[in-house]
Structure 1
Amino acid sequence: MMRFKRTDLYTLPLLVYIIYHLKKSMAFTSCGISILTVNYVKQCPEDSKSWQMAAKRMDCDGIEQDCQQGIRADSHQFVFQYHCVINVWRNATLEVCAFNRTLLGYCAEFNILGSVIQDNYYADCTKHDPPCPSVYNSAEAYKYQSCYKLVEQNERNTKIISAAKRTSGNLTTPFISIFFRFIIRKLLHI
């Protein structure tokens, strides 16, 4: 027989309350139609003018969606609009029509499974140069170009790894390995 502690009786209502509000919040910011608007791009807009031009081209206002049911008509907190962000793996940039979010110092990403713009917790842009603010609107992601540079860095790393894999069967690889061991031994005076 399972026994409950007295603290469990207080914790359970709190958990139910938190889950209810998280679900409600996700319902307001997640929209399945967003997936149909995803367009992978080589580069995201770099300034307000090019952002506005891209937003006009995507015409997110013209997309019929019923995801805003339950949101007050005068609410500016959640707006279905153009975004250009990184993907979850930080290896591609994409345009998408989605609800804006308040981000907490991380690069904006679009999560396809959740159909939602969210923080990429592996990309803390408050530590970038120049840094992003600790709180900003996802629709202003273009202001923080360092987030897009993460994609370029990942592309370079992928190319280097691919090249290394291709040459791993090559005869020069053992010689390179021996050369590096020789250098390391010389540096460590072994």
Structure 2
Amino acid sequence: MMIYMFSIKWVLIIQISDVLAQECFPSIPTHTVVPSCPNTELELHIAHYRKQCYSLATIQNCTRPLDFRYHCVLNKLSTKAVELCAPRIVSQGFCIHFDEHTGILAENYNMDCTKFSHPCPKRFLSSDVMQYKECTSTIKVSSGLNFLGIKKRDVYHGESNHWIIILAIVACLGFTISIFMIFHKVFEKTAKMQMCSHRKEQREEMKMENEENVLYDVISAEAPNETSLMLENLNASDSASFQTMLKQLDLDKYLTLFHDHGVDNMKAFCLLTQNDFEKFGLNKGQSLKCAFATEHLNRPKFN
């Protein structure tokens, strides 16, 4: 009979805990951060009196008034102790934490209290979690950080992940910058090589051009051109013949005669300067006529 009643009791507790695993907003305003949870019976009685969860139990609608109890547990991140009034739940051997956003208590599956140095039973009510001190050990924030809990790895696991992410980002940035510097050096070296090659080609072209100019000057100095020889051989008789031709022929006939016969003296006279025209007794009009003829010499021949 006793075993039967005990089984019914635990079934009812499990059913109640399933109902309580829902949001309970009346619990949210009751939670306060405390330095630590009660460690003695006296401290627990003082906390019960200070919190007065029994007065709120009659007006909340999350659970039965009898199950709306005082709790002192860790927050979800296990970084601080929290006092609150909340529906109690049944734990399957794990520490309890409070979710500040939903206002419910839940099991912390990262903290199996059955494996602690002072283990908890495989099943217990959340309102009794203060009996298992290692479930309420947390971080105290002061001038430094003291990790007082046995499960240190669980407490600062999130912080370690942050540092890993930061180090990974720094490593990626360092690698990217190194690759950029390598490409920059290669590009700079290639640009310098191309510039040196271009300058070398320019120097070689200038050298060849200078050599050609020197050779041309030497040839010109050693072999006077045909025009210079013709100008030196002009005489007064040639001038008279040229004057007569300019007077008698208009420009078109003069050009036709010039192109058809290619008279050397005519070509030589057309290459004279204004001063040379005056020396041979040619007037300005005749020199202009010859200038027009000279201009036409540079055009294609008449058909």
User: What range is the shorter-chain TM-score in?
Assistant: 0.5 to 0.7
**Closer, same or farther: CA 25–43 of 1 in aligned 2, 3 Å:** same
Runs of 5+ consecutive residues of structure 1 not aligned to the other structure: 1-21, 169-190
Select the structure of larger CA radius of gyration: 2
Deviations 1:90-126 (A, max 9, x none): 1111001001111111111111222111111111111
Q: Does 1:35 align with 2:35?
A: no
TM-score by length of 1: 0.60
TM-score by length of 2: 0.39
Q: 2:61 is aligned with what amino acid?
A: C
Which of the numbers 98, 104, 116 marks the counterpart of 2:92? 104
Q: 2:121 is aligned with what amino acid?
A: P
Greater fraction of residues in strand: 1
Kept after mapping to 2: 8 A contact 1:108/1:119: yes
User: SS at 1:149's partner residue?
Assistant: coil
Which of the numbers 93, 98, 122 marks the counterpart of 2:81? 93
Matched residue, 1:50? 43
Which of the numbers 52, 59, 64 marks the counterpart of 1:59? 52
In structure 1, distance between residues paired with 2:106 and 2:21: 13
Equivalent residue pairs, number: 137
Deviations 1:160-179 (A, max 9, x none): 97xx9xxx9xxxxxxxxxxx
Greater fraction of residues in helix: 2
Percent identical residues: 26
Kept after mapping to 2: 8 A contact 1:28/1:68: no
Structure number with higher relative contact order (C-alpha < 8 Å, ≥ 6 residues apart): 1
Q: Does 1:116 align with 2:104?
A: yes
Deviations 1:18-65 (A, max 9, x none): xxxx9x934576420111011001110013332121011100111263
In structure 2, distance between residues paired with 1:108 and 1:54: 18
Q: How does 1:178-189 map to 2 (within 5 A)?
A: none
Q: 2:87 is aligned with what amino acid?
A: F
User: SS at 2:102's partner residue?
Assistant: coil
In structure 2, distance between residues paired with 1:57 and 1:27: 24
In structure 1, distance between residues paired with 2:21 and 2:136: 26
Matched residue, 2:246? none
